[in-house]
Amino acid sequence: MFLIFLGPPGVGKGTQCKRVVEMYGLPHVSTGDIMRAAIQDQTALGSQVKSYLDNGQLVPDQLVVDVVAERLRQEDCAEGCLLDGFPRTIAQAEALALFFQQQNKQLTGTLQLTADKDEIKRRLVERADKENRPDDTPETISERLQVYEQQTSPLVEFYEQRNTLHRVDGMGTPDEVFDRIRGVLDLL
Ligand code: AMP
């Protein structure tokens, strides 16, 4: 099962993805986690991407596409994985579609997690307190929300047109949201 999780920063993607990978035994491919680890480990990739993450901007498409392609070629992703935070632009989505086509693989579904704006801001502030992520400052939070609106939200229509989009209401407790996600995944 190849899944994409779409949704703005703060909608609860990270929390829900963790539960999904546990329950369905899928490798969790989070581009944000991969890049944070690269920065932490001071690799070449880390130094290339650090300023983008610090400023809440998107890393250039080609860099991210290469990182994901390399990860998807690994053995554990042969039968499926959960993509978290990728794709984030139409160009990335097109590159992913081409990759799947070349590998004779098929996207199983795209889950779009939604929540209203006030709730998203509240969750981001809460996460900033808890996790101490350097890109959770008020300035970068608002930059990342804007980047999502402009560059990532067009993916909703992209996947709608390909009949793979499933909307999931992300309001409520993590348990309530996870039950809704399970309801969708069990039908796929
Ligand atoms: P996330 O943990 O998914 O919120 O990602 C944190 C940051 O990593 C983003 O604000 C971007 O700077 C970068 N990033 C993660 N995934 C991507 C992607 N698919 N394309 C471009 N930049 C990304």
Instruction: Give per-residue pLDDT as tens, 46-98.
Output: 999 999 999 999 999 999 999 999 999 999 999 999 999 999 999 999 999 99
Edge-to-edge, what's the strand order for the sheet holding 81-84? 28-30, 81-84, 2-6, 109-114, 165-169
Name residue 115's amino acid. Answer: A
The verdict on the CB of residue 10 being under 6 Å from ligand 1 is no
Nearest CA to ligand 1 atom 11: 58
Tell me, yes or no, if 105 is annotated catalytic: no
**Residue 108 near residue 5 (C-beta atoms within 8 A):** no
Tell me, yes or no, if 144 is annotated catalytic: yes
Cα separation, 30 vs 15, in Å, equals 12
Question: What confidence category does residue 136 fall into, taking pLDDT thresholds of 50, 70 and 90?
Answer: confident
Lowest average pLDDT, out of 15-24, 123-132, 152-161, goes to: 123-132
Mean pLDDT estimate for the chain: 94
Cα separation, 82 vs 26, in Å, equals 6
Cα separation, 133 vs 53, in Å, equals 10
Atom of ligand 1 nearest to the CA of 144: 10
Atom of ligand 1 nearest to the CA of 56: 10
In the chain, % helix, strand, coil (3-state, to 5) comes to 60, 10, 30
- Residue 11 predicted with pLDDT over 80: yes
In our burial notation (b when 16+ CB lie closer than 10 A, e otherwise), range 152-183 reads beebbebbeeeebbbebebeeeeeebbebbee
pTM confidence score: 0.94
Calculated CA dihedral for residues 153, 156, 161, 165, nearest 10 degrees:
170
Residues paired with residue 97 on neighbouring β-strands, in sequence order? none
Residues paired with residue 84 on neighbouring β-strands, in sequence order? 5, 30
Among the listed residues 114, 34, 137, 28, the one whose alpha carbon sits nearest the alpha carbon of residue 77: 28
**Residue 91 near residue 146 (C-beta atoms within 8 A):** no
Distance 182 CA to ligand 1 centre (A): 25
Question: What confidence category does residue 129 fall into, taking pLDDT thresholds of 50, 70 and 90?
Answer: confident
Question: According to the model, what pLDDT value does residue 1 have?
Answer: 95
